[in-house]
């Protein structure tokens, strides 16, 4: 009977009608009303300013989902851990080409509709990287053969060009060629400043974006299965990150949060009649959009943003809109801004977009055809950029590939943004002498000591570190034709020194929080340089995780244990040094 009543609401309510009382409560829905090109595997998401208890939701609220072809859908209702988000996960996929009506009775009736794409198109996520190159860049590029190529067993020797008192830390690289006829074996590489290897691991396929996340774990993207892998301090796989709603994760970005959630990018090719947009446009062009997703620690999609809902295809710059294939956004970097919102780098639009991370609304647009800012002292602006980042002083940095500078050249830039008055001021830049043109990829990282670490992308040299005055203090090369999508410098192994005075005693502190789910922090103090191991054991005395093994100097240290892949129960963590050993108990509750 209740299903019949809700079905009648579908017939009575106008589509997209939100009653006033509910509009004050619903913060965000996905898919959006009247949106198109949605995947048939999509879930339906409602985010509220607040939610009543789960009991009230289960007893009094319903979601009715009806496809114009597939009919009424049953499914699972998930309330996420933030206690603000309700997800309807259908038991079966929607049908291609259909319109989906959704009726909810959260506090008051609400109906809206969205459309499922007409056709599934498979494109390897690896295509997103190669689409950065001119079409005539290399006739030997065969993307489909990348994974299956038989590669020789040689390590990519790193050449030291310059070293002059660079910052401390180690350099993170992952090698690959654009020309797949070049001999190359894929590795994850951590190098010392002097180009000697600190760590390397041969991989079964090309990997990208090897880095340390803010939570202290390592991640990389694998071209073998289009998944981001997370490694612990012993380089063991600890977790994986992937997109939901039928999308394949793209290689360009993964941002892992301290609570175990993560932001990812995905590319979304669709068939579009471009004759509706431009003269002589192809009626069946393949047009690639961009997807941003946030997944929680349970791998639920709790936020999704799609370029189809917010950009015009013709927002792209330097694009042939009459071509058979159009990549109009080409998102390549995502930054979590200081206010919690998102900064998105759109290479093929020459644009940085600020996006509200709660509602998905665009806050402002910088660069490109829709620029809202006045460039006060940089008339050339940036072109086909990468690596948007907000740095500690409040400025932004990015890698200006400079594809459409005349002549083309690349540079590292720092800008001050006045978001209120919409002005942007060039504060600092580094332009190599002679010029370097990294036509694709690239990264800029502001280091803690004020130096800037630059990965030149598809160019040689591979990396350069400069001081604040632009003096070169380090430069390294991968072999000719071998590149690293990004290059980073981190203090690794990751351990956080917390004391300014020399401690006088050994101490292993109780973990916090305790009980915990799924992440807890362990702190300890050592009063002198010691060989240290910090390990976690289950109740049977079996080693569960090794958090650190190595030499540490006198200080207070903090390490995190992420136990999302472990079952509830009692665990023990043990600190052992040359002169001290202590074990404490902790409780994982899921």
pLDDT at residue 520, rounded to an integer:
87
Instruction: Encode pLDDT of 308-367 as tens digits.
Output: 999 999 999 999 999 999 999 999 999 999 999 999 999 999 999 999 999 999 999 999
Give me the mean pLDDT over the 525-546 stretch. 92
d(C-alpha 291, C-alpha 518), whole Å? 27
Tens of pLDDT along 307-322? 999 999 999 999 999 9
49 & 186 share domain: no
H/E element, 130? helix 127-130
Say if residue 458 is in the same domain as residue 514.
Answer: no
Mean pLDDT computed over 516-534: 90
407 Cβ neighbours under 8 A, 6+ residues apart: 435
pLDDT at residue 137 tops 50: no
Distance CA 193, CA 165 (A): 9
**Same domain assignment for residues 229 and 273:** yes
Inter-CA distances, 404 with 189, 287, 386, 444, Å: 32, 22, 14, 19
Q: Which residues pair with 425 in a beta bridge?
A: 416
Residues 476 and 520 in one domain: no
Instruction: Give pLDDT tens digits for 178-226.
Output: 887 888 889 999 999 999 888 999 999 999 999 999 878 899 999 999 9
In this structure, is residue 411 part of a structural domain?
Answer: yes
* Domain at 77, CATH number: 2.60.40.3710
Count of domains observed in the chain = 3
Please tell me the predicted confidence (pLDDT) of residue 35.
96
Instruction: State which of 95, 115, 135 marks the end of a domain.
Output: 115
The runs of H, that is alpha helices, within 185-273 are none
| Mean pLDDT, range 463-470, rounded to an integer | 97
Residues 479 and 521 in one domain: no
Residue 122's CB is within 10 A of a number of other CB atoms, namely 6
% of the chain with per-residue pLDDT over 70? 88
**The domain boundary residue, chosen from 441, 463, 490:** 490
Q: What percent of the chain has pLDDT over 90?
A: 65
* Residues 67 and 154 grouped into a single domain: no
CATH, residue 212: 2.120.10.30
pLDDT at 20: 35
pLDDT given at position 4: 46
Provide the pLDDT confidence category of residue 27 given band limits of 50, 70 and 90: confident
Q: What is the pLDDT of residues 258-300, one digit of tens each?
A: 778 999 999 999 999 999 999 999 999 999 999 999 999 889 9
Closest to 530 measured CA to CA, from 494, 510, 562, 503: 503
Residues 317 and 389 grouped into a single domain: yes
**496 in a domain, yes or no?**
no
Burial of 185 (0-12, 13-18, 19+ CB in 10 A): middle
Q: What integer is the mean pLDDT of 108-113?
A: 83
Mean pLDDT over 445-470 rounds to 96
Global pTM value? 0.84
**pLDDT value for 143:** 29
pLDDT digits (tens, 9 = 90+) for 222-270: 999 999 999 887 788 878 999 999 999 999 999 998 778 999 999 999 9
What is the structure's pLDDT at 153?
60
At 558 the pLDDT is 83
- pLDDT tens per residue across span 560-580: 888 888 999 999 999 999 999
Q: Is residue 300 in some structural domain?
A: yes
Q: 321 and 398: one domain?
A: yes
How confident is the model at residue 463, as a pLDDT? 97
In a shared domain, residues 190 and 307: yes
pLDDT at position 66, please? 96
Residue 241 CB burial class (10 angstroms; 0-12, 13-18, ≥19): buried
Looking at per-residue pLDDT, the higher value among 53 and 482 belongs to: 482
Q: Are residues 101 and 137 in the same domain?
A: no
Same domain, yes or no: 199 and 85: no
Q: Which of 96-105, 119-128, 432-441, 455-464 has the lowest mean pLDDT?
A: 119-128
Tell whether 534 is covered by a domain: yes
User: CA 566, CA 527: separation in Å to the nearest integer?
Assistant: 33
What DSSP designation does 225 have? T
**pLDDT band at residue 436 under the 50/70/90 scheme:** very high
Q: Order of strands across the sheet with 342-346?
A: 331-336, 342-346, 351-355, 362-366
Comparing 49 with 75, which gets the higher pLDDT?
A: 75
132 plus 110 within the same structural domain: no
Residue 307: is the preceding peptide bond cis (ω within 30°)? Answer: no
Q: Domain range spanning residue 417?
A: 127-490
Q: What confidence score (pLDDT) does residue 21 get?
A: 37
Domain's final residue, options 490, 516, 532: 490
């Amino acid at each position: 009977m209740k299903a019949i009543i809700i079905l009648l609401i579908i017939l009575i309510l106008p589509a997209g009608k939100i009653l006033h009382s509910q509009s004050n409560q619903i913060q965000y829905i996905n898919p959006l009303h009247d949106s198109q090109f949605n995947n048939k595997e999509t879930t339906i998401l409602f985010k509220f300013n607040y939610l009543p208890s789960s009991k009230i939701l289960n007893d009094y609220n319903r979601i009715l989902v009806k496809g114009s072809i597939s009919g009424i859908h049953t499914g699972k209702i998930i309330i996420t851990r933030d206690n603000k988000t309700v997800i309807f996960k259908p038991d079966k996929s929607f049908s291609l080409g259909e319109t989906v009506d959704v009726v909810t009775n959260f506090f008051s009736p609400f109906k809206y509709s969205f459309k499922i794409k007409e056709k599934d198109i498979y494109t390897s996520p690896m295509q997103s990287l190669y689409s950065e190159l001119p079409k005539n860049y290399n006739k030997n590029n065969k993307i489909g053969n990348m994974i299956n190529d038989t590669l020789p067993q040689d390590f990519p020797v790193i050449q030291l060009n310059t070293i002059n008192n660079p910052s401390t830390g180690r350099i993170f690289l992952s090698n690959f060629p654009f020309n797949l006829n070049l001999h190359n074996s894929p590795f994850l590489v951590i190098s010392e400043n002097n180009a000697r290897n600190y760590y390397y691991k041969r991989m079964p396929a090309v990997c990208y974006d090897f880095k340390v996340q803010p939570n202290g774990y390592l991640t990389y993207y694998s071209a073998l299965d289009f998944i981001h892998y997370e490694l612990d301090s012993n380089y063991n796989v600890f977790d994986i990150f992937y997109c939901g709603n039928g999308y394949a994760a793209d290689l360009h970005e993964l941002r892992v949060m301290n609570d175990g959630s993560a932001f990812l990018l995905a590319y979304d090719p669709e068939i579009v009649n471009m004759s509706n947009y431009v003269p002589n446009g192809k009626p069946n062009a393949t047009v690639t959009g961009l997807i941003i997703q946030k997944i929680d620690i349970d791998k639920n999609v709790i936020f999704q943003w799609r370029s189809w809902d917010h950009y015009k295809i013709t927002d792209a710059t330097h694009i042939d809109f009459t071509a058979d294939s159009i990549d109009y956004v080409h998102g390549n970097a995502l930054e979590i801004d200081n206010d919690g919102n998102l900064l998105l780098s759109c290479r093929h639009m020459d644009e940085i977009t600020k996006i509200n991370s709660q509602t998905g609304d665009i806050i402002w647009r910088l660069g490109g055809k829709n620029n809202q800012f006045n460039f006060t002292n940089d008339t050339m602006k940036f072109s086909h950029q990468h690596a948007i980042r907000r740095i500690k002083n409040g400025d932004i940095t990015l890698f200006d590939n400079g594809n459409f500078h005349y002549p083309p050249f690349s540079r590292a830039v720092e800008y001050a943004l006045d978001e209120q008055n919409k002005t942007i001021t060039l504060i600092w830049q580094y332009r190599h002498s002679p010029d370097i043109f990294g036509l694709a990829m690239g990264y800029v990282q502001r280091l803690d000591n004020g130096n800037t670490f630059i990965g030149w992308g598809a160019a040689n040299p591979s990396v350069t570190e400069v001081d604040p005055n632009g003096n070169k203090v380090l430069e390294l090369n991968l072999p000719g034709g071998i590149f690293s999508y990004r290059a980073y410098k981190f203090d690794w192994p990751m351990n956080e020194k917390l004391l300014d005075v020399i401690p006088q005693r050994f101490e292993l502190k109780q973990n916090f929080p305790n009980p915990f789910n799924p992440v807890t922090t362990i702190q300890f103090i050592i009063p002198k340089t010691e060989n240290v191991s910090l390990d976690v054991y289950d109740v049977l005395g079996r080693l569960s995780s090794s958090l650190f093994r190595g030499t540490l100097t006198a200080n207070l240290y903090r390490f995190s244990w992420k136990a999302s892949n472990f079952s509830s129960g009692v665990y023990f963590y043990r600190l052992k040094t040359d002169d001290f050993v202590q074990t404490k108990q902790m409780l994982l509750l899921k």
